[in-house]
Amino acid sequence: MDEGIKDHRISWEYQLTVKLILEGISSVKKGFNELPLIRMKAMETLSPQECASFVSEKLDELSSWVDYTKDIYSQDINDSWGPYGVEGKKEDIEAACGRLVKAFRCLYDWEVSICTVIPDNTWKPVFNKLQLSSMNFIEDAESFFIELMEFLSNPNIKGKHTLTFNFEFPRTLIGVEKDIRRAQNASLPKSQWDDIWVGILKKLVGV
C-alpha cells in the first residue's frame, strides 16, 4: 500500500479504514483462541502420503490468499480513497475493508482445516510450522494499521506522505522446506516425493 496521505483535513478516509480493519482483525483474532480446543478434538488421521498432499495443498492455498490480500491492499483500498486530493466514497471504503477482513477470516478457516487432522508422526514438525503461520500475516497487517492510526493522530502532519506495507514470508514457515524433505525421506519412497512445494515456497518468499 503506497498511497500518499492526503491533507489532514480530509483524512477521514484513512481513519475510517483503520477503524474498520482493526475492528475486523480483533474479531478474527478472537477465533484463534479456539484453535487449541479444535486441535484436541481432531479425529481424522493422515498417512505419510496424505500428509504430503495435504501440505502441498495448504501451502498453495496460503500463497493464493496472500496474493489475494496483496491485491486488496495495492488496489481495492488505495482506489477506495479516491485520487490524491479528492475525497473517497464511504461505501467504497467499507467494501474494500470488508474484503480484506473476509480474507483474514478465510485465513482463519485455513488454520481450522489444519487443526482438524492428525498427521503421521514423521510429518508433525511440518504441521507444527503450518499452525498459526497465517497469524503472522494478520498481525503484520494489524501493526501496519496501528502505525497508520498513530500517524494520523499527529496534529503536525502536513503535505504528502507515504506509508508502505511490507509483505513478509510467514515467520513460522522459515526452514519448513528442510522439515518437508526430512519427512519425505523418512516416510516415502523417493518416487513419491512431491516437489511442488518448492515453487510454492519460492512464491511466498517473493511476496
pLDDT of residue 5: 46
Neighbour-count burial for 51-76, b at 16+ CB within 10 Å, e otherwise: bbebbbebbbbbbebbeebeebbeeb
Q: Mapping DSSP to helix (H, G, I), strand (E, B) and coil, where does residue 44 land?
A: strand
The tens place of each residue's pLDDT in the chain, 207 residues long, gives 544 444 544 478 889 999 999 999 999 999 998 898 898 898 899 999 899 889 988 988 988 888 888 889 888 998 898 887 778 889 999 999 999 999 999 999 999 999 999 999 999 999 999 998 888 889 888 988 998 888 888 777 666 666 666 767 677 888 888 888 888 888 777 766 666 566 666 656 554
pLDDT of residue 8: 43
Say what angle helices 48-71 and 196-205 make with each other, to 10 degrees: 30
d(CA 25, CA 139): 8
Question: Cβ distance 165 to 1 under 8 Å?
Answer: yes
